[in-house]
Amino acid sequence: MNYTIKKELLPRFLLSLGKNFEVIAPVKEYARPPSFEIFKGQELFLDERTTFSAKKFFRPSKEKIFSFKKDKASFEISPEIDTTKRVLFGIRPCGTHALQALDQLFVKFFGEDQFYSSRRKNTIIIALQCSKACKNGFCTSLGTSQAVGYDILFLERGADFFVKAETEAGKDLLDAEFFKHTSDAEPSFNLECEKNLETKDLGKNLYANFNHPVWKQESERCLSCSSCTQICPTCYCYRLNDDFVFGSDTESERNRTWDSCQLKRFTKVAGNHVFRPSRKGRLRQFVLHKFSYYEENHGTHLCVGCGRCITTCPVEIDLTFIANKIQKDVSEGKK
């Protein structure tokens, strides 16, 4: 069943969901870059994908895994599973593909991560189809320009949104106060991304060109700031810390915090050995993980073509430039 809602009613609809859910939406607040935040009536940002993705609502930048408490006779461990009921509105197609990649890792491949899967199960997804290409995106090259795995899909149509409910949980949200049935055909959009990536044999060719000069050339300006990995919706490296609870000598907590393969200390192991000391090696790891190593294990890429890493890099390092350079040299028979 399909519906429509007037665009001007959207903020009121989202606020009405707030009675039963924590509502997450793309917003523009103060001078900050657009990001997904808890919606309390801020200005919605619907122009294109946000600068920051919605990843933090499934894998927070810092999350308490459990706390532990010791007294004379016992030792207690209490896991901290987040069961908040959420509605995530406005995630773009590339974002829905990023969630599929995280599901593949944290529900299937590594075994079920309860902290992640609880947030996933308790979140209703309302995706928003892109009607135009965003800056630096290349989703059309990677086949991630159509949303997947959503409960409801919104599509722009003049002064309305055309709305498709895919699941019962989604349909239950579509209150007649805001939504009207429609038998109109679904709108379609012809996206033309400004960047293209040649994906034929991409993983194989990048790996075969481990020593191509482009790695050195591009990494010479890399600052190892880690912005590319922090902003990426599919990057998932983390570290675990046992932290004291301030003011207590019997309680402590284990926290999981985002980490980054772009930081030198990330590869520091026992004996102070750093196994990826060069910027070249770390940049190459980022790109090869996205297009070669992940593909080897999962049959697809760990990049959804959102272009966030390109936009955010302070020295304009662009993984499509690196990949296309190698692809071109391979097709021309150069190494």
Please choose, from the candidates 140, 51, 53, 101, the residue with its C-alpha nearest in 3D space to the C-alpha of residue 302: 101
User: Which ranges of 176-307 does DSSP label H, i.e. alpha helix?
Assistant: 202-208, 213-219, 227-231, 279-288, 294-298
**CB closer to ligand SF4, 27 vs 287:** 287
Q: Is 144 in the site for ligand SF4 (CB under 6 A)?
A: no
- In whole angstroms, how close is the CB of 236 to ligand SF4 at the nearest point? 11
Say if CB 286 and CB 219 are below 8 A apart: no
Contacting ligand SF4 (CB under 6 A), which of 313, 322, 326, 330? Answer: 313
200-239 binders of ligand SF4 (CB under 6 A): 222-228, 231-234
**CB closer to ligand SF4, 34 vs 233:** 233
Q: Is 50 in the site for ligand SF4 (CB under 6 A)?
A: no
| Interface map 283-302 toward ligand SF4 (x if CB under 6 A) | x------x------------
Contacting ligand SF4 (CB under 6 A), which of 4, 140, 262, 327? Answer: 262
Residue 60 exposed, middle or buried by CB count within 10 Å (0-12, 13-18, 19+): middle
Contacting ligand SF4 (CB under 6 A), which of 5, 14, 306, 322? Answer: 306
Q: Is 308 in the site for ligand SF4 (CB under 6 A)?
A: yes
Q: Is 99 in the site for ligand SF4 (CB under 6 A)?
A: no
Q: Which H helix or E strand runs over 118? A: helix 114-121
Say if CB 164 and CB 186 are below 8 A apart: yes
Amino acid, single-letter form, for residue 241: N
Binding footprint of ligand SF4, residue count (CB under 6 A): 26
**CB closer to ligand SF4, 95 vs 170:** 95
Within 10 A of 333 (CB to CB), how many other CB atoms are there? Answer: 6
Q: Is 304 in the site for ligand SF4 (CB under 6 A)?
A: yes
